[in-house]
Amino acid sequence: MEAGTRGRNRRGQGELLRSEIIAATLRLLEELGDDQALSLRAVAREVGIAATSVYLHFEDRDQLVYAAVESFHGDLAAAVEAAENAHDDPVAALTARVFTLADRLQRHPGLFKVLHESTLNQRASMPFKQAMGEGTVTAVQRCLDAALIPPGDAHELALDLRTAVHGAVSLRVNQPGEPREPLTDQLTRFLVKLLGIPT
């Protein structure tokens, strides 16, 4: 309804609003931790525009949520890849990968829930998530190739590792009250016990 204090963008700069809307959506999703609870009208309020203005850039509420989640995942993937590439040693690279991913997710509990636990998973396929899983398999395979960990199947080892890491983040995100050891302590044990990384 009533517009906020925000002025109109200059001609040709209409796309600026799009990123403002995405940013506001991410803030609200982080707060809510649930894509179904997000309302398009709340996003408009957060940005300071009329609810109908959202339709200038997104077909409907679902497309908006999807675009926001995809954007978050893109940042995440970039951070993980950068952390991994900062190390030559395969074990160090894999460790950096896992630590960075888990840490970033733990720092964005609401978005973690939207990305991995919301009903969006049932309602839309999110193909961009697949690359993240494959990256872990590759990282594990490099450790195997360099004989830095005991022989095994890269897919199975990566699956078990990802499963345990997912569980660690999920428990922390969903029961934030519980006292916990630092996340990396537990992740280190998983790397040692599940992959056989030497201590």
Partner DNA sequence: TGTACATCAGTGAACGCGCGTTCACTGATGTAC
Residue 95 CA to residue 134 CA, distance in Å, equals 15
Q: Which is nearer to a second copy, 87 or 166 (CB)?
A: 166
Residue 183 contacts a second copy per CB under 8 A: no
Site for a second copy in 141-170 (CB under 8 A): 156, 159-160, 162-168, 170
Q: Which is nearer to DNA, 85 or 119 (CB)?
A: 119
Closest CA to 165 of 111, 79, 97: 97
Q: Which is nearer to DNA, 36 or 174 (CB)?
A: 36
Query: Quick one: which of 22, 29, 32, 49 contacts DNA (CB under 7 A)?
Result: 49
Question: Which among 15-23, 103-111, 124-132, 153-161 is the span making contact with DNA, rule CB under 7 A?
Answer: 15-23
Query: Quick one: which of 23, 50, 144, 159 contacts DNA (CB under 7 A)?
Result: 50
Residue 12 contacts DNA per CB under 7 A: yes
Residue 25 contacts a second copy per CB under 8 A: no
27-33: list long-range contacts, CB under 8 Å, 24+ apart. 29/65, 29/68, 29/69, 29/110, 29/111, 29/114, 30/108, 30/109, 30/110, 30/111, 31/110, 32/110, 33/109, 33/110, 33/113, 33/114
Residue 39 contacts a second copy per CB under 8 A: no
Question: Which among 33-41, 70-78, 100-108, 134-142 is the span making contact with a second copy, rule CB under 8 A?
Answer: 33-41
| Residue 152 burial (CB count, 10 A) | 16
Residue 68 contacts DNA per CB under 7 A: no
The answer for residues whose C-beta is within 8 angstroms of residue 112's C-beta and 6 or more apart is: 105, 106, 169, 170, 173
Residue 175 contacts DNA per CB under 7 A: no
Half-sphere exposure of 19 (CA within 13 A, CB side): 5
| Residue 52 burial (CB count, 10 A) | 11
> What's the maximum distance between 2 C-alpha atoms anywhere in the chain?
64
Question: Which among 14-22, 109-117, 146-154, 188-196 is the span making contact with DNA, rule CB under 7 A?
Answer: 14-22
Where along the sequence are the contacts to a second copy (CB under 8 A)?
Answer: 32-34, 36-37, 113, 116-117, 119, 121-122, 125, 156, 159-160, 162-168, 170-171, 174-177, 186, 189-190, 193-194
